[in-house]
């Protein structure tokens, strides 16, 4: 009897003794130090991820899952920007560093990595993947972590801490269809097919084509596919029967390849217009090049091979850095994201507030962020509104690095101007 009581009693005593040396006991919500700005007269307020000589940003990316190519490219773009920026003296007299984690497109992994990174970073330079963004949505609000999402769905704009560096899928689609209209490839009253993938990405693209169809009296034949469907033959054959004059795509690159191939085989040969993730250089080879010739890609960032001066500079830096991978548009985009973060941080620095709240404030003051035309000029002052409506149009070209040739300047269509995207009031 006595022994029985002794065991739990001793255990409890042990627990009390042990807990006296718990590390967590002293931890009371981050090191809210007011770092003096490197000998400057003005005091700089800081909280997370900013020390006297270093600013740390987080990156949650995919280096091993379905978006491996994109994820690697974008991170390499970040690295190029950081190297260049640090060589020029950094931002706010501090060097920039990134902490990279690969979540393999798995939300459970990302929710472990987030609390590990969060106390040590100012914000996220990249959060890749819609499941990951959805799982961390509330955390970003709770911790006030301003984050660049590598997803272009206007649905996620309801979170003020999520930054989409560019336009959204719906606006891309409206602009892309408008481009076809202006080029005389489609006309009012036509029938247009739209293949879209189930989920956030596809549904957001569909919003765009629906709006465009309404405005131009176009009959829209929308067909939903799942991400694992690979053969678009039945669908494109169906479109041929319905007499479509163009096919819109909000699909994976593999599905784009299939749709393009069938389009050519059937002799349908209608123009294809796709959102920015519909293409990857991997689907472009000697056999498919002809079928992909009348494909139009719409994105608010330039392709890797673009003639834009800044894009050329990034390409040069990429070659000089000697990465093993083939470059893709992600490299340029990753660099552009660096530029965006850099300008937000500069503004926060001028405001004397490099806390997370200060970054959010600086973001909302940023009405005109320029990236040397890598991405259209961005206006982040309106919560819930895409930062730009402008896009580039490009077309696959097998002879160019990155596999895509830019064929238009930045533009925005009249229809897109009237469209209300995202969570605008």
- Nearest approach, Cβ of residue 232 and another protein (Å): 17
- Nearest approach, Cβ of residue 26 and another protein (Å): 7
Q: Do residues 412 and 390 lie in contact, with contact meaning Cβ atoms separated by under 8 Å?
A: yes
Q: Is there binding between residue 72 and another protein (CB under 8 A)?
A: yes
- Count CA within 13 A, CB hemisphere, residue 164: 29
Which one of residues 83, 93, 113, 346 is an interface residue with another protein (CB under 8 A)? 113
**Closest to 123 (Cα-Cα) out of 276, 345, 311:** 345
Footprint (CB under 8 A) of another protein, residues 365-404: none
Q: How far are the Cα atoms of 200, 238, 384 from residue 197, in angstroms, in the given order?
A: 8, 17, 24
Q: Which is nearer to another protein, 199 or 384 (CB)?
A: 199
- Nearest approach, Cβ of residue 406 and another protein (Å): 26
Alpha-carbon gap, residue 106 to 238, rounded angstroms: 35
Footprint (CB under 8 A) of another protein, residues 292-331: 323-325
Q: Is there binding between residue 116 and another protein (CB under 8 A)?
A: yes
Structure-block tokens of residue 161: 């801490």
**Closest to 386 (Cα-Cα) out of 213, 78, 170, 124:** 170
CB burial readout 51-76, b (16+ within 10 A) else e? eeeebbbbbbbbbebebbbbbbbbbb
Among the listed ranges 97-105, 167-175, 234-242, 295-303, the one in contact with another protein (CB under 8 A) is: 97-105
Q: Is there binding between residue 5 and another protein (CB under 8 A)?
A: no
Q: Which is nearer to another protein, 17 or 42 (CB)?
A: 17
Helix/strand/coil for 165: coil
Q: Which is nearer to another protein, 20 or 41 (CB)?
A: 20
Residue 312: how many other CB atoms lie within 10 Å:
12
- Nearest approach, Cβ of residue 250 and another protein (Å): 13
Alpha-carbon gap, residue 159 to 161, rounded angstroms: 5
Alpha-carbon gap, residue 260 to 289, rounded angstroms: 10
Which one of residues 63, 215, 365, 382 is an interface residue with another protein (CB under 8 A)? 63
Alpha-carbon gap, residue 343 to 380, rounded angstroms: 12
Q: Is there binding between residue 18 and another protein (CB under 8 A)?
A: yes
- Nearest approach, Cβ of residue 296 and another protein (Å): 26
Among the listed ranges 98-106, 253-261, 340-348, 360-368, the one in contact with another protein (CB under 8 A) is: 98-106
Which one of residues 75, 213, 298, 317 is an interface residue with another protein (CB under 8 A)? 75
The per-type count for the chain, helices as H runs and strands as E runs, is: 13, 14
- Nearest approach, Cβ of residue 195 and another protein (Å): 16
Alpha-carbon gap, residue 293 to 422, rounded angstroms: 32
Q: Is there binding between residue 143 and another protein (CB under 8 A)?
A: no
Q: Is there binding between residue 160 and another protein (CB under 8 A)?
A: no
Among the listed ranges 137-145, 186-194, 206-214, 294-302, the one in contact with another protein (CB under 8 A) is: 137-145
Structure-block tokens of residue 46: 């800081």
Among the listed ranges 155-163, 278-286, 364-372, 375-383, the one in contact with another protein (CB under 8 A) is: 155-163
**Which are the contacts of 369, defined by CB distance < 8 A and separation ≥ 6?**
339, 340, 343, 344, 377, 378, 379, 380, 387
Q: Is there binding between residue 210 and another protein (CB under 8 A)?
A: no
Q: Which is nearer to another protein, 202 or 303 (CB)?
A: 202
Q: Is there binding between residue 30 and another protein (CB under 8 A)?
A: no
Among the listed ranges 31-39, 132-140, 275-283, 371-379, the one in contact with another protein (CB under 8 A) is: 132-140
- Nearest approach, Cβ of residue 25 and another protein (Å): 4
**Which are the contacts of 303, defined by CB distance < 8 A and separation ≥ 6?**
297, 311, 329, 332, 392, 394, 400, 402, 404, 405, 406
Chain positions contacting another protein, by CB under 8 A: 3-4, 7-8, 11-12, 14-16, 18-20, 22-26, 28-29, 63-66, 68, 72, 75-76, 99-109, 111-113, 115-116, 130-131, 134-135, 137-139, 153, 155-156, 158, 198-200, 203, 226-228, 323-325
């Amino acid at each position: 009897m006595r022994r029985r009581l002794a065991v739990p009693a001793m255990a409890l005593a042990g627990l009390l003794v042990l807990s006296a040396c718990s590390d967590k006991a002293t931890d009371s919500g981050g090191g809210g130090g007011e770092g003096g700005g490197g000998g400057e007269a003005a005091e700089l307020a800081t909280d997370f991820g900013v020390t006297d000589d270093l600013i740390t940003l987080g990156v949650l990316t995919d280096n091993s899952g379905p978006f491996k190519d994109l994820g690697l490219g974008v991170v390499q773009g970040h690295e190029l920007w950081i190297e260049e920026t640090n060589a020029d003296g950094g931002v706010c007299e501090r060097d920039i560093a990134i902490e990279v984690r690969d979540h393999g497109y798995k939300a459970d992994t990302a929710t472990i990595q987030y609390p590990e990174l969060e106390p040590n970073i100012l914000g996220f330079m990249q959060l890749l993947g819609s499941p990951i963004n959805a799982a961390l949505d509330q955390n970003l609000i709770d911790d006030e972590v301003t984050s660049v999402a590598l997803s272009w769905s206007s649905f996620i704009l309801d979170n003020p801490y999520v930054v989409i560096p560019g336009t959204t899928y719906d606006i891309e689609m409206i602009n892309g269809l408008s481009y076809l209209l202006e080029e005389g490839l489609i006309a009012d009253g036509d029938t247009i097919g739209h293949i879209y993938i189930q989920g956030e990405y596809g549904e957001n693209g569909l919003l765009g084509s629906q709006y465009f169809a309404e405005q131009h009296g176009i009959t829209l034949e929308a067909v939903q596919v799942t991400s694992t469907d690979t053969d678009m033959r039945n669908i494109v054959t169906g479109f041929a029967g319905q007499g479509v004059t163009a096919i819109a795509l909000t699909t994976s690159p593999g599905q784009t390849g299939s749709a393009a191939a069938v389009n050519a085989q059937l002799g349908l040969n209608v123009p294809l217009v796709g959102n920015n993730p519909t293409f990857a250089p991997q689907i472009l080879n000697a056999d498919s090049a002809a079928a992909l010739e009348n494909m139009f890609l719409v994105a608010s960032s330039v392709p890797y091979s673009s003639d834009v001066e800044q894009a050329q500079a990034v390409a040069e830096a990429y070659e000089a850095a000697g990465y093993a991978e083939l470059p893709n548009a992600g490299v340029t985009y990753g660099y552009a994201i660096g530029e965006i973060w850099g300008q937000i941080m500069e503004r926060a620095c001028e405001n004397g507030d490099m806390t997370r709240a200060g970054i959010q404030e600086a973001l909302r003051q940023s009405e005109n962020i320029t990236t040397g035309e890598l991405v259209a000029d961005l206006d982040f002052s309106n919560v819930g509104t895409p930062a730009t409506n402008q896009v580039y149009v490009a077309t696959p070209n097998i002879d160019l690095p990155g596999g895509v040739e830019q064929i238009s300047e930045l533009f925005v269509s009249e229809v897109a101007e009237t469209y209300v995207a995202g969570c605008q009031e």
